[in-house]
Amino acid sequence: MPSSKCIKSVLMMTLLAVTAVQGAEKPLLMEGKTSLYQKVLSTPSCVLRKDPAAKDGSAVPAFSRFYVYKRDGRNLQVGPDTTGKISGWLDGSCAVEWKMQTALMFTNPAGRDRALIFDGKDALDELVKAKDPRSNVQSLNDSLSAKKSAPHVLSQEPDRYIDYRRQFYLLPILDAEETMFDDGNYTRELKIASITALDDKKKTDQGSETSAIKQFKAAIVFVIDSSISMQPYIDRTKKAIETIYKRLEKEHLEDRVQFGLVSFRSNIKAVPGLEYTSRIFVNPGDANSSKEFAEKLKDLKQANVSSALFDEDAYSGINTALSAVKWNEFGGRYVVLMTDAGAIEGSNKLSSTKLDSKELRAEAAHQGVALYALHLLTESGKRNRNHDKAKAQYQDLTFNDVLQKSLYYPVDAGEVSSFGNMVDQLANSITNQVKLASEGKLGAGSAVAVAENSAKEQDSLDEDTRLLGYAMQLSYLGTVTGTKAPDFIEGWISDRDLVAHNKPVAEPVVLLTKLQLSDLKELTRHILDSANQGILNPEDMFSQLRSLAVSMGRDPASMQDGTSLKISSMGLLGEYLDGLPYKSRLQDLDEETWSSMGPDEQNQTIEDLENKLTYYQKCNDDTDRWVNLIPGADSSEAVYPVKLELLP
């Protein structure tokens, strides 16, 4: 599938000159909408012509997104944006309607079967509703493995992971429906389109793949709490790193496994004597020997004063590790949190990031980083009744989509020896993976290998790390060997594994334009302000929201449903969120429901909005991740992929 850069370069050469239409003509509105315009995606057979009668034109790269300005029979007059610029005419039979501007991104296939794409919804439905689809799915997979056709299967997910964060690809979602497996688990059935070959004839040969994996490198960044009482754990971490460096030097792998270290404490405005909130002592690559690493850590000691709270700003340490390290230089990416305290919540005035576990987990996933937490269950944490809260935070923070479990490991009684053994085990496991890669070998981690392991082994730190290492190697190979998504097709796929229903095979994202993201940010801010008022008086909250809706042009008569009027009925969150395949608690909220909530539930809703608002601002400022779907379009038409779970 062509990257956005490839699309840009080809289109710049092939598109007809874009001309401005007098009077800034606008595209056609979608039926029943007041702010959403009709959009289409080109397919490989599309040709841009000067007018409907022209026989010849310029070829258009597939999946170029156009706005529709006029319809003349099956002919479409199209432009790159909504400003009135016209590119030419397309034959409507070669284009597909793209209403929701949503797309599908595959998850890493390590530890599960490759997803199947079916020629119709009925064939997919049959497997979704089956009591035990295992044998049928296995039969389809066996046929495909033998290079034979499988009934109703159009295509199959690539065997190498395509990381859209490093190699953007477009699998547009054309239709979606939420349904349920026979066992009660939910899934989304998605109609998608794709444009590259199923069995790519240019697939990398085994020799090239072996050569590629030999270049695999890993970075491990320890994020360690350096508040009072943490000195024994700081010293033990230093010892573990020194030991593993000696092994790396002996095996000549010191340039393949790089270590980093971030230390965190708490808010220095509240307690200046803490010196820093978070600080990076070593960036991966800055030290290539145990001696160099020790030199950079000579000033790392526990704090001399206590923090304002028992909780520390662990999220600041995680955020520093995710933002300060050049993760794209490494195939293996690991961040290991070490603390005996809970994390200061993003809504707390002492928080430096205003982010919570969900937003940081999403950022780590975007960077392709696996987050671990080694939680020290010390006596002081027990006295402060902090253990349960911290456990919930760090289980959520470290939930890993590949393994479908949290990488949370408690250390009973905070024993230094047990802690040290875990650090040793983790560092050794990652080093072993890199050693195998240096010999041209992939680490074991296929779905078959997973099935053969015992439950006890799967729960261990070493087993989790082994499987994650394999997943990261698949991701690395998919990037360096140019693995592509399947050929131009329109088919149906489940976003959950058809046998192991708890495993996601893909995640839908909405591609928000800069204007839409800005609107979402501002509207979330307005709703947040109203919600804060609503803690004291729910009527005031919804009165403010109704006034806001009217100021946005909503019909005042439609705002008269009293306490049962839902936020969705007010039209506050934008038409571009209507019809998306996700459930929004906020959209269904009305005055009666809000009033019936307890203080804790209301506060949690407010905290969720605050965290999402901070995340939207982070997305807005993240210039490197904006994608242009077609050159020549106004800059406001660049899009940003936002996971559905991060919408309000």
At 630-646, the pLDDT tens digits run 878 888 888 988 888 88
Tokens of 568: 């969705």
Closest CA to 287 of 215, 236, 238: 238
- Give the pLDDT mean for 180-192: 92
Residue 274 above 60 pLDDT?
yes
Closest CA to 480 of 161, 199, 230: 161
Supply the DSSP symbol for 306.
Answer: -
Residue 200 above 90 pLDDT?
no
Using 50, 70 and 90 to split pLDDT, how confident is the model at 387? very high
- Cα–Cα distance for residue pair 162/106, rounded to 1 Å: 7
Most confident of 103-107, 231-235, 366-370: 231-235
Residue 337's identity, in one-letter code, is L
Residue 451 above 70 pLDDT?
no
Q: Report yes or no: 87 and 48 within 8 Å, Cβ to Cβ.
A: yes
For the CA atoms of 486, 163, 137, 171, the dihedral, rounded to the nearest 10 degrees, stands at: -40
Q: What's residue 443's pLDDT?
A: 59
- Give the pLDDT mean for 236-251: 89
- Cα–Cα distance for residue pair 288/364, rounded to 1 Å: 25
Residue 466 above 60 pLDDT?
yes
Higher-confidence position of 318 and 440: 318
The domain tally of the chain equals 4
Q: What's residue 146's pLDDT?
A: 86
Residue 610 above 70 pLDDT?
yes
**Co-location of 158 and 62 in the same domain:** no
Higher-confidence position of 592 and 476: 592
Instruction: Identify the three-state secondary structure at position 227.
Output: coil
Q: Which is it for the CA torsion 349, 367, 176, 511, positive or negative?
A: positive
- What's phi and psi for 319, nearest 5 deg? -65, -40
The whole domain housing 82 covers 4-97
Q: In what order do the strands lie in the sheet with 370-376?
A: 278-282, 257-264, 218-225, 332-339, 370-376, 408-411
In this structure, what CATH number is given to the domain that contains residue 391? Answer: 3.40.50.410
Does any domain span residue 510? no
**Co-location of 338 and 259 in the same domain:** yes
Give 117-153 pLDDT, tens digit per residue. Answer: 999 999 999 999 999 999 999 999 998 888 888 899 9
**Domain boundary, last residue among 53, 70, 97:** 97
**Co-location of 405 and 292 in the same domain:** yes
Most confident of 12-26, 247-261, 348-362, 451-465: 348-362
Q: Report yes or no: 391 and 375 within 8 Å, Cβ to Cβ.
A: yes
Q: What's residue 4's pLDDT?
A: 40
- Cα–Cα distance for residue pair 150/483, rounded to 1 Å: 22
- Give the pLDDT mean for 395-403: 90
Buried/exposed 565-579: b ≥16 CB within 10 Å, e otherwise:
bebbbbbbbbebbee
Helix (H) or strand (E) holding 173: strand 172-180
Using 50, 70 and 90 to split pLDDT, how confident is the model at 486? very low
- Give the pLDDT mean for 575-591: 76
Q: What's residue 198's pLDDT?
A: 34
Longest dimension (CA), the chain: 81
Q: What's residue 197's pLDDT?
A: 36
Average pLDDT value for the chain? 84
Q: What's residue 215's pLDDT?
A: 85
Does any domain span residue 182? yes
For the CA atoms of 115, 120, 123, 124, the dihedral, rounded to the nearest 10 degrees, stands at: 40
Higher-confidence position of 543 and 275: 275
Residue 203's identity, in one-letter code, is K
Most confident of 5-19, 187-201, 292-306, 612-626: 292-306
Q: What's residue 561's pLDDT?
A: 67
Helix (H) or strand (E) holding 618: helix 599-621
- Cα–Cα distance for residue pair 42/301, rounded to 1 Å: 59
Closest CA to 200 of 5, 10, 478, 447: 478
Does any domain span residue 520? yes
Q: Report yes or no: 329 and 255 within 8 Å, Cβ to Cβ.
A: no
23-32, 140-149, 151-160, 469-478: the lowest-pLDDT one: 469-478
**Co-location of 87 and 107 in the same domain:** no
For the CA atoms of 288, 293, 296, 300, the dihedral, rounded to the nearest 10 degrees, stands at: 150
Using 50, 70 and 90 to split pLDDT, how confident is the model at 483? low
- Give the pLDDT mean for 495-515: 90
- What is the DSSP track for 78-140? EESSSSSEE-EEEEGGGEEE-SS-EEEEEPP-TTSPPPEEESSHHHHHHHHS-S--HHHHHHH
Tokens of 93: 């039979």
Does any domain span residue 477? no
Nearby residues of 444 by Cβ (< 8 Å), 6 or more positions away: 466, 470
CA distances from 517 to 512, 514, 634 (A): 6, 5, 15
**Co-location of 495 and 550 in the same domain:** no
Q: What's residue 484's pLDDT?
A: 54
**Domain boundary, last residue among 411, 442, 473:** 442
- Give the pLDDT mean for 19-33: 73
Tell me the β-bridge partners of 48: 58
Does any domain span residue 478? no
Supply the DSSP symbol for 176.
Answer: E
Q: What's residue 454's pLDDT?
A: 33
DSSP strand pairing (218-225 vs 257-264): parallel
Does any domain span residue 58? yes
**Domain boundary, last residue among 47, 72, 97:** 97
Alpha-carbon 197 to chain mean position: 25
Give 323-362 pLDDT, tens digit per residue. Answer: 999 998 899 999 999 999 999 999 999 999 999 999 999 8
**Co-location of 64 and 172 in the same domain:** no
Q: Report yes or no: 371 and 318 within 8 Å, Cβ to Cβ.
A: yes
**Co-location of 227 and 317 in the same domain:** yes
Alpha-carbon 483 to chain mean position: 20
Half-sphere exposure of 503 (CA within 13 A, CB side): 18
- Cα–Cα distance for residue pair 628/633, rounded to 1 Å: 8
**Co-location of 142 and 287 in the same domain:** no
Helix (H) or strand (E) holding 471: helix 461-480
Does any domain span residue 289? yes
223-227, 473-477, 599-603: the lowest-pLDDT one: 473-477
- Give the pLDDT mean for 388-414: 92
Residue 79 above 50 pLDDT?
yes
pLDDT-above-70 percentage for the chain:
88
**Co-location of 261 and 349 in the same domain:** yes
**Co-location of 114 and 62 in the same domain:** no
**Co-location of 381 and 256 in the same domain:** yes
Does any domain span residue 471? no
Give 288-325 pLDDT, tens digit per residue. Answer: 888 898 999 999 999 999 999 999 999 999 999 999 99
Q: What's residue 419's pLDDT?
A: 93
Residue 9 above 80 pLDDT?
no
Tell me the β-bridge partners of 337: 223, 373
- Cα–Cα distance for residue pair 341/344, rounded to 1 Å: 9
Q: What's residue 468's pLDDT?
A: 84
- Cα–Cα distance for residue pair 39/516, rounded to 1 Å: 15
Residue 520 above 70 pLDDT?
yes
For the CA atoms of 428, 432, 438, 443, the dihedral, rounded to the nearest 10 degrees, stands at: -140
**Co-location of 392 and 540 in the same domain:** no
Residue 14 above 90 pLDDT?
no
Tell whether pTM > 0.75. Answer: no
- Cα–Cα distance for residue pair 374/46, rounded to 1 Å: 54
